[in-house]
Structure 1
């Protein structure tokens, strides 16, 4: 049966599938032959070529090695995964990737840039598990900006409630808190915890983020239960900046925050990892 023809201009996913088929056929390989080389089934190759499945980064890197495509698919997969983010969030993700400074306050959850895969899977799968693998991969793809040679300076203030709100299970939470401690060792990442003892604080209205750029206007971003809201309005940015300064001042130092994270991790989630439930 003739496989359907893709319009490469329809979406990043269609373009990826179109280029994959073209590269495979140029190499004289069948679906099964290429699948054997990159350690997957020929059926999976066919599904990606017809835009029925979303490719992952490790798969793309193996394709480049197998087909000698000089990093083509490793570059394309970033666009593909970003296209899997909610449509209302994509403009923010594009700006986030260009920001020189990222400052976030989170009242209930670990910020997406600092989430582990298991934590992200639990959060994203709470209400809808459709295409969950692709949505998790898209969130993890956002985090690649922190590993760049020149990453954005990233500052996260987390309510202490974030540490105690058990997402997934004890193993997931222990892994997540350990990851926060690891991120603290990165020179461009700072994590502070806003303790319960502060009482009323400048973040009571909810989570928000500030993006600063080398040349473009600053952005303030917030979300409700439906979608996100982004503005460069100078008064809104000024208000967000003042609130964030107040939160930073009220939060524990990075060192004391790490000590609190460590204590909660041990006391609430155990010294040893607990058997992990299947979250897939």
Structure 2
């Protein structure tokens, strides 16, 4: 059985629920009168339990209410080729799955034609995006902190390689204020100095390329590759080989029209310097 982002998210939720109650896998399997090997494969995503089996696990752990409903919902369509999230709870589950994949990744490729890539956004830039998007002021601080925590994936010990293709338009689009953008560009320049981070600017004059169809992530972990796409209303995971291959080829097309890493860093640093001079 192929592991999917959704059944891995389900497995993680089941494992966390068990561990919160201080139960070993063997002890919990005995309580449920199930083979501990089967339970282990549920938790790793190598095998997907049926919704009624998930319900049995959660009921045994006295988990109910909204959390119960969200975890059981993960069991439906967990083996499907696509994971589409349109509700807020499902989008939250997808974001957690993205963060988990980023922490385990060997390489992350992000194509972002109109905005600064999420892993490279400053807190002020994130806050300005949320404020402009109508997020309640009382929620902006917590949401910003949550997004900033994603950066630990590329700044911690043994981080994955990050290749970020940034549309030139994103460097000139003022989000929040000129001061916010100046600090954002300066931060990009500092991140580009990291050995595991490669920034590639895609010029406005590059003509058509797949990045113009919308932003996307390609996350690689060992032999596994998944694609994540996100828009204002929904998120989508793709994991089947044919689908991932299309986006891998798209990365190659974007790379062919982008500036190299040295030129890109010079473009970013020069723009940041000019904004500093105009203060």
> TM-score per shorter chain, which class?
0.5 to 0.7
Tell whether the 8 Å contact from 1:119 to 1:176 is kept in structure 2 after alignment: yes
Structure with more of its chain in helix, by fraction: 2
* RMSD value, Cα: 2.1
- State which of 139, 143, 157 in structure 2 corresponds to 1:149: 157
- State which of 92, 99, 117 in structure 1 corresponds to 2:123: 117
Tell whether the 8 Å contact from 1:221 to 1:230 is kept in structure 2 after alignment: yes
- Give secondary structure in 1 for the equivalent of 2:175: coil
Separation of aligned partners in 2, 1:88 and 1:95: 10
1:231 matched to 2:238: yes
Q: How does 1:38-187 map to 2 (within 5 A)?
A: 86-126=92-132, 127-129=134-136, 130-187=138-195
Cα deviation, residue 202, structure 1: 2.2
Corresponding residue for residue 259 of structure 1: 266
1:196 matched to 2:204: yes
Structure of greater relative contact order (alpha carbons < 8 Å, 6+ residues apart): 2
Separation of aligned partners in 1, 2:251 and 2:201: 13
Corresponding residue for residue 74 of structure 1: none
TM-score if structure 2 supplies the norm length?
Answer: 0.64
Separation of aligned partners in 2, 1:230 and 1:87: 12
Cα deviation, residue 223, structure 1: 1.4
Which piece of structure 1 moves more, 86-95 or 164-173? 86-95
Corresponding residue for residue 63 of structure 2: none
Structure 1: where are the runs of 5+ without partners? 1-8, 16-82, 275-280
Which deviations, in whole Å up to 9, do the C-alpha atoms of 1:48-97 show, x marking residues without a partner?
A: xxxxxxxxxxxxxxxxxxxxxxxxxxxxxxxxxxx9x8334222222122
Cα deviation, residue 111, structure 1: 1.1
Tell whether the 8 Å contact from 1:191 to 1:257 is kept in structure 2 after alignment: yes
Separation of aligned partners in 2, 1:169 and 1:176: 11
TM-score if structure 1 supplies the norm length?
Answer: 0.64
Which piece of structure 1 moves more, 124-133 or 232-241? 124-133
Corresponding residue for residue 271 of structure 1: 277
Cα deviation, residue 105, structure 1: 0.3
- Give secondary structure in 1 for the equivalent of 2:145: helix
Separation of aligned partners in 2, 1:262 and 1:102: 23
Tell whether the 8 Å contact from 1:89 to 1:227 is kept in structure 2 after alignment: no
Cα deviation, residue 264, structure 1: 2.2
Task: Kindly tell me the number of residue pairs found equivalent between the two proteins.
Answer: 192
